[in-house]
Chains A and B, each alone.
Chain A
Amino acid sequence: MSLNNWQPVIGLEVHVQLATRTKLFSSSPIAFGADPNTQASEIDLGLPGVLPVLNKEAISHALKFGCAINAEISEKVIFARKNYFYPDLPKGYQISQLDDPIVGKGSVEIKLGDKSKIIGVTRAHLEEDAGKSIHDLYSNNSAIDLNRAGTCLLEIVSEPDLSSAKEAVEYLKKIHSIVTFLGISDGDMSQGSMRCDANVSVKKPNDQKLGTRTELKNINSFKFVEKAIIFEIDRQIKELEKGEEIIQETRLYDSKKNLTRSMRSKEEANDYRYFPEPDLIPIKISKDQINEVRKNLPELPEIMKERFMNSYELSDDNAELVTINKETASFFEEVLSYEVSPKNAVNWITGDLFALLNKNDTNISESKVNPKHIAEIIQNIEDQKISGPSAKKLLEIVWSEGGEIQELIQKEGLEQISNDDEIEKILDEVISENQKQFEQLKSGKDRLQGFFVGKVMKKTSGSASPQVVNKLLKDKLSK
């Protein structure tokens, strides 16, 4: 893609499903994947005479987010009705916030290589989610499932401070990491716990005014956010360079075809007729309440990273890697609780384990490998009980089958041969089979040392300690 001197301007609206047990305005459970309409009470269905009662936990979650991004917190939280008709919106209005959102202006910092950039957060407000309309289940009907209707959402709106798809992804990852570290959302994009809309426009560097923007709806993975924005920037530039105008519209990203297409514009202009929700009284948030939240805020990734660098002497990069999400950070600290060296722990987690996770497209909390596995593998290496290759083999076994490290070492015969006599016998065999090379080594061709060590390792299927082989070989050469 050639930017050809165009400057993309991107803002994200991230909808985070809050990790509450019940809905925003009703006590209904919110189990994911439950039978249709079994999580929808008379309140969620909007039957006549029902009333909303606000979930305390949702307020508390939103306050945590606000404090975490150093945002202004509204002293008075007001809900508003957003009016429109759609079958998955049972009341004909969504209870949301317009004026006085619970979280006002704040900011987050994102990393771009070795540079960092501050991204403004305009606001974050609480609102109820809609249900689901399923259009492909019946030939003549759409099916409505209101299980999700009323679920707590925090909509986080960024300033148009992002200038590339890459930055958008970094910002999204940052928001993901903040909400998961705070424990206010599971952040699971595959289950819709985090959804993202992107406002995209392009302009020439000297233009004061922003270009006409399009809104990309429901791009629900980090990968698609990047691809959708890249496509859209490219499309807009091509249109503009053809002399066409950009139409302000909502576009859907088609991940199969990797393109965005215009959503059929609704027959009426969107006039949501917001007005203050008369069933709810404004909620006052006191300074004490905010201070209390601030005091009890869980450790955030930046602070945790600093601590890891200071207490465990991790490099900046390594500390960044193990604080990539809450699960990895806790995994790392649990490995350390077995008293292994932090450096080895980082190397194993971010090296071999991450490679497996990436290859299998899964995350650390879902893998069979637990912190104890990693700790014991490291301990066995540190005690020279197993060799590096054996350790890798062990990891692959526990990755696919789980099990106990000690038992596996026995069962797979991976215990390292550190008995000098036994190794010497094998080394002698190797020397006698390769007399010519041994003479060359003796005469100073040092790089053949590895050749002999390798041969011994091969004969012992990797269970000989390379250190011992080296030592014995040196002895023989000096004789």
Chain B
Amino acid sequence: MSELINLSLTDQILGLADKSFSSKEITGAYLNEIKKKESLNCFISVFEKESEEKALMADENIAKNKARPLEGIPIAHKDIFCIKDKKTTCGSKMLSNFISPYSSEVFSKLDTAGAITLGKTNMDEFAMGSSNETSFYGNVLNPINEKLSPGGSSGGSAAAVRANLCSFATATDTGGSIRQPASFCGVTGIKPTYGRVSRWGMIAFASSLDQAGIIAKNAKDAAIALKYMSGFDQKDSTSLNEEVKDLQKEVDADQEHIIGIPKDLIENIKNDQVRDSFKNAISILEKDGAKIVEINLPHIEYSLPAYYVIAPAECSANLARYDGIRFGHRSESVSSLEDLYVNSRTEGFGREVKNRIFIGTFCLSAGYYDAFYNKALKIRNLIKSDFDEAFKKVSSIAMPTCSNSSFELGSINDPVEMYEQDIYTIPANLAGLPALSIPSGTADEMPIGLQLIGNYLEEGRILNLANKFQKLTNFHEFK
């Protein structure tokens, strides 16, 4: 049965439909693999029994010709998405006892589409981290080389897809948390336009930047999965009330592409292998007929500082609700209200989360708001304008996902060095643009990703381009 888990989502859907295999078989195969590769630490929870039961029901539906679009497809959710009556930890001690009374819209939509939830994937605590090392549940190992990091914060989801532990996995991206781990694990990850996927029931890190997306084996799979996850949701005020395009169709459509290349940025890439592999990828696309245009994104180098004000500021408020009173970790040593607050929060949060709360609190505090927070918002505007200007001339923008391939676990201790992991991914979050990462080569024998950024609501276009690239190359293939 092990070949079932290697199949693409597209082939799994076909195979289930023509009854080449059953959901029971494919689900069982994934559950076996999860057990076998437990040491990778990809999952925080696994729902073995329930998945098996759901697989039987899925097979019944298929037998009765009542199959839903993702009927019987075993998937995994990042443990940031609430599922009713299930533990949702967000990788934190603070929520290690949190059984959600409601479900996230992401879960509900994929559940309604027929997907089976095998379990919930490991992640950096509250999605803050780029190596999966901040998780209360320990770090995830990169399935390609277990000494290395899978990236973060959606490291569990990326590693689970790479290790064939699920057909695809949901993930979230605030500053690169889908694309960077996808790049490190040699898989495909897409963060759609801000507001395309509902944030309801997705535990907040930085509300104006957080966006749910997909990590999958390839662009086509990602397109299918994303299609069933997207859409307007009345429960999320920032949700876009716009029609969901048929990404499944668009990913294979015959489209012309004009790709913008930020020349200065590319010339400044320090890692030769990353630069060369990027140029190689672009020349493959150019040979295939894509038009390549040099563009200028003059303010992009200010993305990182702006992000590290905005995201911590929002996080400092979003994480104020963890006070030990109504839910979450409550300290045992409490003799006053102040104790309850301080001890619960000091015990419940890990170091990186605390760092970000401190930074955010500082940047918003009296006397610093204008110099930090307001300034960052103005830079955000400049960055968005840079992109708006560029998209007048091009249909997508290409750059590397990350300035390096995966690094050894425990090797980066300086916070700023860790933050620089997201230097190329952050701009799309600040501007709210859709962006994806696909494997495009290697550096130091580990995968690296090509990042494609699209205009607002143009997920289909970058997926189409990614699919084109994957038809021409085999960087994305793995067993």
Contact = CB atoms under 8 A, between A and B. Distances in A.
B97 interface: no
Given A51-B236, A87-B337, A273 B365 contact: yes
Interface string A75-96: 0000001010101001111000
Nearest to B368: A273
B203 A278 contact: no
A48 interface: yes
Given A48-B95, A53-B235, A273-B365, 17 more contacts: A46-B326, A47-B102, A48-B82, A49-B81, A49-B100, A49-B199, A50-B102, A50-B200, A51-B235, A51-B236, A53-B236, A83-B364, A92-B319, A92-B323, A93-B320, A278-B207, A279-B204
A29 interface: no
Contacts of B100: 47-49
A434 interface: no
A interface secondary structure, majority? loop
A312 interface: no
Interface string B260-280: 000000000000000000000
A279 B199 CA distance: 10
Nearest to A93: B317
Contacts of B115: none
B326 A273 contact: no
Interface in A23-48: 42, 45-48
B6 to A, nearest CB: 34
B323 A85 contact: yes
B326 A142 contact: no
Contacts of A46: 321, 326
Interface in B57-94: 81-82, 88, 90
B8 interface: no
Nearest to B103: A49
B237 A280 contact: yes
Contacts of A42: 101-102
Interface of B: 81-82, 88, 90, 95, 98, 100-102, 104, 199-204, 206-208, 234-238, 313-314, 316-317, 319-321, 323, 325-328, 337, 341, 361, 364-366, 369, 373
B320 A83 contact: yes
A46 B324 CA distance: 12
A48 B97 CA distance: 13
Nearest to B374: A275
A53 B328 CA distance: 24
B327 A85 contact: no
B203 A48 contact: yes
Q: Report the 9 A-B pairs with minimum CB-CB distance, sorted nearest first.
A: A92-B320, A278-B207, A278-B208, A273-B364, A46-B321, A49-B201, A48-B203, A49-B203, A271-B366
Contacts, number: 104
Given A49-B104, A279-B238, A92 B326 contact: no
B207 A279 contact: yes
B95 to A, nearest CB: 7
B interface secondary structure, majority? loop
A91 B323 CA distance: 9
Interface string A303-347: 000000000000000000000000000000000000000000000
B237 A83 contact: no
Contacts of B206: 278
B321 A85 contact: no
A143 to B, nearest CB: 11
Nearest to A84: B320
Interface residues of A, number: 30
A1 to B, nearest CB: 38
Contacts of A271: 365-366
Contact of A87 (B101, B201, B320, B325): B325
Nearest to B206: A278
A144 B327 contact: no
Contacts of A275: 313-314, 317, 364, 369, 373
A45 B237 CA distance: 18
A52 interface: yes
Nearest to A279: B207
A51 B88 CA distance: 17
B136 to A, nearest CB: 15
A263 interface: no
A316 B112 CA distance: 67
A3 interface: no
B88 A85 contact: no
B320 A85 contact: yes
14 contacts: A46-B321, A46-B326, A48-B95, A48-B328, A49-B204, A54-B237, A85-B320, A87-B337, A92-B317, A92-B323, A271-B365, A273-B365, A278-B314, A280-B238
A53 B98 CA distance: 24
A42 B326 CA distance: 10
Nearest to B207: A278
A53 B237 contact: yes
A85 B321 CA distance: 9
Contacts of B327: 45, 47-48
A48 B98 contact: yes
B133 to A, nearest CB: 22
B104 to A, nearest CB: 6
B237 A90 contact: no
A281 interface: yes
Contacts of B201: 49-50
B318 to A, nearest CB: 9
B200 A51 contact: yes
Indicate the member of B82, B90, B202, B326 with the most A CB atoms within 10 Å. B326
Contacts of B337: 87, 142
